[in-house]
Amino acid sequence: MTEIIDGNEVGERVKDGLADGIETLSAEGVTPGLATVLMSEDGASETYVSMKQRACEEVGIDSVHVEIDPDAPESELLDRIDELNEDPSIHGILVQMPVPDHVDEKAVLRRVDPAKDVDGFHPENVGRLVAGDARFKPCTPHGVQKLLASADVDPEGQDVVIVGRSDIVGKPLANLLVQKAPGGNATVTVCHSRTDDLGEKTRNADVVVAAVGVPELVDGSMLSEGTVVIDVGVNRVDADTEKGYELVGDVEFESAKEKASAITPVPGGVGPMTIAMLLYNTVKAASLQEDVPVDLPSAS
């Protein structure tokens, strides 16, 4: 029978695992603080930011929210990041992506103090991750590692095909999965829009991670029997529903489920893990900045 990997359940376990750490910090007079920065009117981005704030409240992390007019100049965003970098009550800063076209995303990511970069997107943190010395693992890739572990899938020796080469998911996940470390030691292939015969690659994989942002790109015909399928895509497609859309992944769930030994659904798969791992990184950031050691749930 195909195992449906429940990201809500695994995410709740990660959040529960943070309680001791938050208590330890609290005993030292420290409450972890996260700043969310939104420079967009995109409905999905607004949803994700409010989900992040609600999750903070649930576990006892303080959150402040900064909203910047999407038409404002880039300098306004950079100035607000500078203020948050200087604010000792803020241990983690995340700028919700994507930012408007007139804003240089790389300049924004470089501006966040690497010690507060709980997304793990600053070049210093990217470098540390690649060197096998991650300070903050990017939330979605870290969440994928946790989901694999929860389904007793050890990537060691497995052929993993990642569909998508984004800076947020594909590239950091590939780096994590090849590392000589628990949750790593896989043989990784990263596919993208120029990949020839994607189906041939995915059919030869033990694990397929779809993270490309194309609704239902990967279907059952592209999978072999027993493949583990992790669907990172959360795509809003027009539908005759109250909201006017429905969420679909990058995987065509019904046909993929027929082949998969385990598969994540959308919604309720990788998405909740992205939020849970953000909380994890925020507690870690507070612990490092305040020099209060805490026990955090194992790395993968």
User: Residue numbers of the site for ligand LMY7XDAE (CB under 6 A)?
Assistant: 44, 47-48, 51, 94-97, 119, 139-140, 168, 234, 247, 266-268, 271-272, 274-275
**CB 297, min distance to ligand LMY7XDAE, A:** 19
Taking the complex as a whole, how short is the minimal distance between the CB of residue 95 and ligand LMY7XDAE, in angstroms? 6
Radius of gyration of the chain (CA): 19
Binding residue per annotation — 220? no
* End-to-end CA gap in the chain: 25
Give the C-alpha separation, 250 to 216, whole Å. Answer: 4
Nearer to ligand LMY7XDAE, 206 or 250 (CB): 250
**C-beta of 25 vs 285, nearer to ligand LMY7XDAE:** 285
CB-nearer residue toward ligand LMY7XDAE: 217 or 234: 234
Closest CB to ligand LMY7XDAE among residues 140, 282: 140
Residue 164 among known ligand-binding residues: yes
Question: Where are any strands of DSSP class E within the chain?
Answer: 3-4, 33-38, 62-67, 92-95, 159-163, 187-191, 207-210, 228-231, 235-238, 245-248, 262-263
Minimum CB distance to ligand LMY7XDAE, residue 98 (Å): 7
* Minimum separation from the CB atom of position 122 to ligand LMY7XDAE (A): 12
Query: Are the C-beta atoms of residues 178 and 206 closer than 8 Å to each other?
Result: no
Tell me if 221 is assigned to a ligand binding site: no
Q: Beta-carbon neighbour count of residue 224 at 10 Å? A: 13
For residue 266 the two structure tokens come to: 């959308």
Cα angle: 27, vertex 55, 124; to 5 degrees: 80
The DSSP output letter for 180 is S
Active site amino acids? 52, 96, 119
**Binding residue numbers for NADP(+):** 164-166, 234
**Binding residue numbers:** 164-166, 234
